[in-house]
Structure 1
């Protein structure tokens, strides 16, 4: 069977249909990728917020440790001081 104009036209139409369906499938994947990217952006935002909260908590803990160190040195001074004899 030799290719005729009709067969060539049918093959060309079939090829165009296959290409169109392939491109249509890409649009579906684009939507899925957009959804995944949106979720990743939300997760990134949550991680950044958690990191900021952790940094804030770390700074508060460091300040509390400094206050404790100051109190500890004062307590040691008081304990090392000679005892006073009560009056009376």
Structure 2
């Protein structure tokens, strides 16, 4: 029926078809990974922006706290100063 040569050719074609299907599925996975990586890059950029905004807000809050501390010190000095007698 089939010669050994025909069987070898059929096997080779089968292997080639499996390899082609495997490569095609790899391309699909590559596309999916590229999409996922792109989304991760976008998220990373957004996270970095949020971190920078948070750091800036933290610095502003620290400066505001320093100003409040200075005011508190000045208010305490004024409150503890001897009272003045009104003129007149």
Deviates more, 1:33-42 or 1:9-18: 9-18
Using the TM superposition, give the Cα deviation of residue 16 of structure 1 relative to its aligned residue in structure 2, in angstroms.
Answer: 0.8
Using the TM superposition, give the Cα deviation of residue 3 of structure 1 relative to its aligned residue in structure 2, in angstroms.
Answer: 5.6
1:65 aligns with 2:29: no
Alignment deviations for residues 34-88 of structure 1 (CA, whole Å, 9 cap, x no partner): 0000000000000000000000000000000010011011000000000111122
Give the TM-score, by structure 1 length: 0.94
Gaps spanning 5+ residues in structure 1: where?
none
Gaps spanning 5+ residues in structure 2: where?
none
Give the TM-score, by structure 2 length: 0.94
Distance in 2 separating the partners of 1:73 and 1:79: 10
For these two proteins, the number of residue pairs brought into alignment is 88
